[in-house]
């Protein structure tokens, strides 16, 4: 029995040739052969390994949780996430932590809120450089000039341009102001 043979339930041996064209799960997910950029995911993984070596418990927890969320999203979608998909996952994780921090502060649990804030700061290091309010206003004005004069379509065209680089609630406020003014 060679190391590449597989034992099936009825105890027959099946070699690699009998299996046909066996492919790994990643080969099935990416049939075109085009490589998916995983720079951000690789950076998260290497930083997680460094945090483990340094025995940094908070950073290890945050990065391992973020990578688990990325893997869950990949499983749900059936394909590897590119850097944009990873940014979306990180943005969602940051938003969840900020919301939790606000709720904890409202309940008088400042020490727990500070932990959540620290975790969101760790994750925000992996996001692309943010946009300023003026830059978002400029984008909104350009979209209005192109003919988007209603809230829904305008937000639909705006969000792909700013996702991961500016808060959606603030963008909504800016759009309302620009449409009103």
The beta strand positions in the chain, using DSSP E, are 6-7, 13-14
CA atoms within a 13 Å half-sphere pointing along the CA-CB vector of 94: 20
Under 8 Å between Cβ of 80 and 30: yes
d(CA 35, CA 29): 11
**Per-residue pLDDT for the chain (181 aa), expressed as one digit of tens each?**
555 555 555 554 454 444 443 333 444 444 433 334 588 899 999 999 999 999 999 999 999 999 999 999 999 989 998 888 898 899 899 999 999 999 999 999 999 999 999 999 999 899 888 888 999 999 999 999 988 888 998 999 998 888 778 888 899 999 999 888 7
| CATH assignment of 133-180, among 1.10.10, 3.40.630, 1.20.1050, 2.60.40 | 1.10.10
For the chain, domain boundaries: 39-124, 133-180
Query: Which CATH number, 3.30.360.10, 1.10.1510.10, 2.40.160.20, 1.10.150.80, labels domain 39-124?
Result: 1.10.1510.10
**pTM greater than 0.75 (yes/no):** no
- Closest by alpha carbon to 86, among 47, 138, 116? 47
CB of 179 closer than 8 Å to CB of 154:
yes
Q: Tokens standing for 127?
A: 């996001």
């Amino acid at each position: 029995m060679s190391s590449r043979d597989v034992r099936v339930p009825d105890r027959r041996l099946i070699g690699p040739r009998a299996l046909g064209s066996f492919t790994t799960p990643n080969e099935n997910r990416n049939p075109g052969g085009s490589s998916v950029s995983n720079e951000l995911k690789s950076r998260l993984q290497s930083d997680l390994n460094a945090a483990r070596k340094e025995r940094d418990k908070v950073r290890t927890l945050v990065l391992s949780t973020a990578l688990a969320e990325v893997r869950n999203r990949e499983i749900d979608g059936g394909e590897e996430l590119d850097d944009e998909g990873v940014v979306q996952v990180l943005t969602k994780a940051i938003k969840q932590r900020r919301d939790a921090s606000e709720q904890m502060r409202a309940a008088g649990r400042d020490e727990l809120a500070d932990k959540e804030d620290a975790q969101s700061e760790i994750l925000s290091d992996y996001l692309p450089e943010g946009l300023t309010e003026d830059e978002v206003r400029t984008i909104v004005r350009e979209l209005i000039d192109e003919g988007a004069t209603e809230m829904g379509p305008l937000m639909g065209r705006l969000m792909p341009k700013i996702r991961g680089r500016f808060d959606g609630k603030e963008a909504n406020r800016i759009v309302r102001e620009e449409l009103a003014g």
